Amino acid sequence: MKTSIVWFRKSLRLHDNPALTAACDDETVDSILPLYIFDPDTVGENYQKLSPNRLRFLIESLSDLDHQLSSQYGSGLFILQGNPGVIFEKITDSLGQSLESLNCEYCSEPWERKNFFSLKKALEKKNASVRIQSFSAFQTILDVEKVVSSADYRNPKSMKDIDRIFSSHFDKDEHGFYKIDDPVPAPDKIKPLPQISSVQSLSIEMLTTQISKEVKTDIMSVKSYFPGGETEALGRLKKKVSGQVEYVNTFRKPKTMSTNSTGEPMEPSTTGLSPYLSVGCLSVRKLWKECEACQLQGAHSQPPESLHGQLMFREMFNLLSRSVDHWDEDQSNVMCKAIEWGDFDQKKMEAWENGQTGFPLIDAMMRQLHTTGWMHHLARHAVSCFLTRGQLWQNWKFGRDVFDRKLLDSDWALNNGNWLWLAGVAPFSMPYFRLYNPCPDGKSSLNVEAENAEFIKYWVPELKDFPPKYIYEPHLAPVKIQADSNCIIGKDYPNPIVERKESAKQNLARFKNSLSRLKSL
């Protein structure tokens, strides 16, 4: 009896899953083992690398995948915990020569490529006949390895550059759309599980209890906008994109509200699909095609502001993360100016992370992140600018690490790319001297709702009785208004951690001086 292992690494879905499809179509295979590995190098020995929200989302995504496998196919998800090399050695020992193949998706992160190469060598040494296949263009539209190794490849720095790369690798149809392959549907049937006596799968309940005990939080009680799982992903895709022709065709990301939909403090004004793309509950090709179906029905926005444009930026950062050495560092990185940031300041970092800076918009956005695992892209602009070149002069990597731990849509390629961009240190960054005002009005490019300030009042309840006139700078409100609003600034809510205008002036001078020193080297 021949077995194929389908290793779910970063694609927790059944639709558009080439690794799973290949195993199902393989006539030499009698059984299929769907496998997921909780790797301590990824989640932490004590799960400390992921916030309770990220852990909950991951568990829900695994639970949904396991439920679909069992209810629709009579199969199930085999969940193990530990080093993948050790785990595969045990599975190989158990299956012996009956192990026919291992199918999984390609992962571009340096450590993932290194680990996969080592694993491949070890498996082939134990079983010379085993077929090991890593499928590309799985989490991306472009084949990352093929693109970066092509003779004409140059590191993209703009939408024009990434569009040029798309043009080199895809033809266009009669409507002017790139000919992207259609997503593959979920399989009609999946072959039964093999018998593995020496390795015991973890149940979802067992894993949830274990994680909750370790992080001292009931992770399933954590509040969020987004339940995890492919079922939820496809439901949100239908609700926010499929058939929503006007929404898709008029979508211009810079015009969406950073403070969520008016009257709905828990509903993003964007699609909210990024967490599902990150964990692989939703295929990026499926999202691309659903947007295309809407755009075929009439006039529509164009890249970079359109939904297709946003997905192209996602491709750009995935390519750069593969082709640029030290992509996640501020030194020896050709995409990062080596600005001399201030030393780590624990007081500033804790105030920023915990939403206690005394700037209500920044605090509301950071509290939203902590509570839900998500924030709007303009909110990310605001808080990252505030932390780095704007007010606090902290290294972008400090903020990057907080986002990596807390964001549901955290992705190594994208998270680093966005922080490089927003800290003003990358070739594709906006000019460093263009700062976001942390105390904006309704005319700000941050697109805040200022008339009623519902978002601020929801996330910073200390200010729920404050008049909107003062809510973005409550320390400027007369003492009587503070008293009438049941919030004395400096007592019930912090005074600003810095004087925003003076700190901005100093930081711009520091940035300019640092650039001058770099040019003189």
Q: What is the per-residue pLDDT across 89-100, written as a single tens digit (0 to 9) for each?
A: 999 888 888 999
pLDDT > 90: percent of the chain: 89
| β-sheet bridge partners, residue 37 | 80
The per-residue pLDDT for 81 is 95
Classify 510 as helix, strand or coil: helix
The per-residue pLDDT for 222 is 84
The per-residue pLDDT for 243 is 85
- Confidence tier at 265 by pLDDT (50, 70, 90): low
Q: Is 502 exposed, middle or buried (0-12, 13-18, 19+ CB in 10 A)?
A: exposed
- Confidence tier at 195 by pLDDT (50, 70, 90): confident
State the average pLDDT over residues 187-198: 91
Query: For residues 103 and 20, is the Cβ–Cβ distance under 8 A?
Result: yes
The per-residue pLDDT for 521 is 74
- Confidence tier at 388 by pLDDT (50, 70, 90): very high
Higher pLDDT, 269 or 250: 250
Give residue for tokens 């030499």: 28
- Confidence tier at 441 by pLDDT (50, 70, 90): confident
The per-residue pLDDT for 97 is 87
On the question of pLDDT at 197 being above 80, the answer is: no
Structural domain boundaries in the chain: 1-138, 141-180+231-323, 346-520
Cα–Cα separations (whole angstroms), residue 77 to 5, 12, 23, 224: 11, 10, 15, 25
CA distance 374 to 356: 18
State the average pLDDT over residues 162-186: 97
CATH of 346-520, one of 3.30.830.10, 3.30.2130.10, 3.30.460.10, 1.10.579.10: 1.10.579.10
State the average pLDDT over residues 512-520: 93
DSSP character at residue 328: T
The CATH code of the domain at 141-180+231-323 is 1.25.40.80
DSSP character at residue 225: S
Average pLDDT, the chain: 95
CA distance 80 to 202: 6
Task: Determine phi and psi for 182, rounding to 5 degrees.
Answer: -70, 145
CA distance 513 to 272: 39
- Confidence tier at 198 by pLDDT (50, 70, 90): confident
Closest by CA to 353, choosing from 398, 419, 408, is 398
The per-residue pLDDT for 98 is 92
3-7 and 31-38 as β-strands: parallel, antiparallel, unpaired? Answer: parallel
State the average pLDDT over residues 253-260: 85
CATH of 1-138, one of 3.20.20.100, 3.30.70.3340, 3.40.50.10490, 3.40.50.620: 3.40.50.620
List pLDDT tens digits, range 428-439: 998 999 999 999
State the average pLDDT over residues 99-113: 95
CA distance 13 to 352: 35
Q: Which helix (H) or strand (E) holds 3?
A: strand 3-7
The per-residue pLDDT for 114 is 94
Cα–Cα separations (whole angstroms), residue 486 to 358, 467, 474: 16, 11, 12
State the average pLDDT over residues 242-264: 86
Cα–Cα separations (whole angstroms), residue 382 to 21, 349, 420, 475: 42, 15, 14, 20
The per-residue pLDDT for 263 is 67
Q: Residues for the chain: how many in total?
A: 521
Higher pLDDT, 519 or 301: 301
The per-residue pLDDT for 266 is 66
